[in-house]
Amino acid sequence: MTRTTWRQPEAPRPSRNTSRGTAALFWAAVLFLRDPATLLAGGTRLLEPEGRPLCTGQPGLRDVTAVVPDGAYGYVLLTRDERPDLSVAEQADAFLLHLDPGLLPLSFGDGLYAGSPCGAILLGGAGTQYSAGGAFIAPGRLAVAMQSVADNASDFPQVFVQAYDGAGDPLFGPFPVRVSTPRVDSRFPVLLGDGEGGLFFAWNEDPGTGSPQSGGLFLQRLDSAGRTAWDRRTVLSGGRDGVAGPAVLAPDGSGGVYAAFAGPRVEDDPNDHGRVRVQRVGGYGAPLWPPGGLPPWDGNRADDPRPWIVADGPEGAIVVFAADGKVRAQKMSPAGDRQWGAEGVLLSDPPDPYPTPYAFASGPRILASDDGSLFVTWEEARERGVTALVARRIERDGRLPWPRPATLVAHDAGIWKRRETVLAGDLLAVVWEDGRSVRTDPADATDVYVQAVDRRGRLKGPPTGWPLIKAPRGQQSPAIIRPGRPFATPAGVDGSLPQALVFWSDGRYPPLEPWWSSAALLAQVVAFNSSPSIAAVPTVTVRESSETTIVLHGDDLQEGLIAGAGEGIDVEAAAVPDSPDGPGDTLTVRVRAGRAPGTPPGPHDLSIVNPDGGTLLVPALLEVTLDPRRVDVDRSGRVDGYDLAVLARDFGRREGDESYSGRADIDANGLVDGADLALLAARFGDSIETAGGVAPAR
């Protein structure tokens, strides 16, 4: 049998790095000269319009598997990177790129590629290695979970963990610690800091058909030196059928951990499909709930192999899962009791029918916001081949503030690899690979799109999502994170707007060696503002020199907004939310069409500007009509010869002429002509009350 191997980082090879680093700097210099800010429908790109290159020109295909904030306003990108200069026969390896707060690469370790803008190697060798996830388990101590998959059938996938200090030096010894069992297929490593400088580590094992060893899902604790803290690993789930999927971990607040997973059938469970289960394990490794965990609801069918869980402090944990084609949530107490009933809270109903109702919901994830509430995202398969990304807010007491889920994007061209984060201001931002560009260019691959929704369920972009980057040759594997501190904003952009930092893999930058494929790593920062909207409303007629009040219904209309309708029209507007937590706003607009003859007749748009810069134009909302009493040119109270004399004196004059009289221009079209004479003649001899359609005073 060929033993799985990994490579300890070697000394750097300056000759291989110099030219590629120069290429990266060249592309960065070119893009820095371009317009630094591009306005989106409800936000602004703060970096170069096409994205900021972090790594270009180096042969190899690479993508981001995880992004971790480093606690000092910088970022750690864990990548899967296939570099042919390591070995032509070698497949992908686990790499890491450390960026400072300004997105400049930092040296990591002292081995191969330590100073490369494309990252330093963590785990290499035959087959495929990648970083499955990471976390800072203490200030300046990064732990990374890695998996190695052999390139031959006689070897077995294995899982490893290593910790690094701020300089990139390994802390668990010269080689990563193998946690899994030799000669057993081991996959899906997951780690969580234990709050004491160590970590919890979960993984799956499947010994294969006929093996005397039982497969399952296991948990181990490692101390700050990488040593196992428990005498034996804890079995989260197991049995003759193995385990269906990986675990998701959350701290229990008492030194232990909650684990959610889709488990196999155990001996006392006749269900053939498996169930979502939750287990609580104490800090010393003892399961605190019955073997195999507890199901969060009474149904039997588990549709998705990976539920999601978030801690709820001393009250337990909240788990979301897909079952019977729907997404549900359940709160489990520290003792394992269901707090939200036998069925949990149904999140995916009532369905959002845009553009079609859903048929099947899957892939739920849950994230906590700063205000304590929770966002849940999932995917829906809808009618006519449509795929949708959907979100809903849920409170920790099980309340659903929004009347229905919010569709972030929906179409039938392909939506993949979504990732999400919660930004400042309790704004949920989601990024994904989008395949709709293939329709117009079959040679093109995916683009990167983004969408955001606030705590009241209002989208910040159009229903189709924002194309963060649309370019040839494919943009893939996006990752999104909340910046540790705001990036600089250009003049006219509010620096307090919520910002999202997005990374992706990009095929636009050719390698210096043209015979190898290459994928660059790029970044973009988006500052999100409001995206106000008004429901369709018929045109409102406003007579010159009169006043009216209009009540409009819309969304994302902020208190203190400014409204206008053009010169000569006074507008006062006040927005009031329909509910404190859900979508919908009511806008009351008081309009006065200025004194005659200052307001041009005809249609007028209503413009709205929110305090955060979000804008809206409602076209032709107002129709200003002329005051019929304008035929009394000299304002004498009667349409008579004196009015005719004034009109005759100015006849033929245009607006802008020195002797032009706005009073003589009865129809306010900018020219004193026969049309004005006809209007006067039609009312000649009438009193002003009769001319204006008003009964004369008695």
Residue 152: CB atoms within 10 Å:
9
Average pLDDT for 28-32 = 33
User: Residues of 474-484 as b/e, b for ≥16 C-beta within 10 angstroms?
Assistant: bbbbbbbbbbe
- What is the pLDDT, as a whole number, of residue 2? 34
Q: Worst-scoring range by mean pLDDT, 80-89, 163-172, 580-589?
A: 80-89
Identify whether the C-beta of residue 130 lies closer than 8 Å to the C-beta of residue 65.
Answer: yes
Pairing mode of beta strands 105-106, 120-123: unpaired
Q: Transcribe 398-458 into DSSP letters.
A: S---SSS-EEEEEESS-EEEEEEEEETTTEEEEEEEE-GGGGT-TT---EEEEEEE-TTS-
Burial class (CB within 10 angstroms; exposed 0-12, middle 13-18, buried 19+) of 298: exposed
pLDDT mean over 245-249 = 90
What mean pLDDT is predicted for residues 470-497?
A: 92
Q: What is the pLDDT of residue 241?
A: 52
* Tens-digit pLDDT profile for residues 85-131: 776 556 788 999 999 999 999 999 988 789 999 999 998 877 788 88
pTM of the model: 0.86
User: SS3 of 687, please?
Assistant: strand
- The DSSP line for 63-81 is EEEEEEE-SSS-EEEEEEE
Q: What is the pLDDT of residue 90?
A: 67
Integer-rounded Cα Rg, in Å, for the chain is 33
Whether omega before 510 lies within 30 degrees of 0, making that bond cis, reads: no
Mean pLDDT value of segment 208-232? 83
Q: b/e for 77-112, b at 16 or more Cβ within 10 A?
A: bbbbbbbbbbeeebbbbbbbbbbeeebebbebbebb
Contacts of 30 (CB under 8 A, 6+ apart): none
Lookup: tokens for 178: 């193998």
pLDDT at 10: 32
Residue 493: burial class (beta carbons within 10 Å; 0-12, 13-18, 19+): middle
Tokens standing for 564? 């206008």
Return the SS3 of 642: helix
287-319 tens-digit pLDDT: 999 988 999 998 766 667 789 999 999 999 999
Residue 212 has pLDDT above 60, yes or no: no
pLDDT band (50, 70, 90) for residue 39: low
Q: For residues 246-252, give the mean pLDDT.
A: 95
- Return d(Cα 361, Cα 600) in angstroms, integer: 54
Q: Report the range of poorest mean pLDDT among 16-25, 39-48, 292-301.
A: 16-25
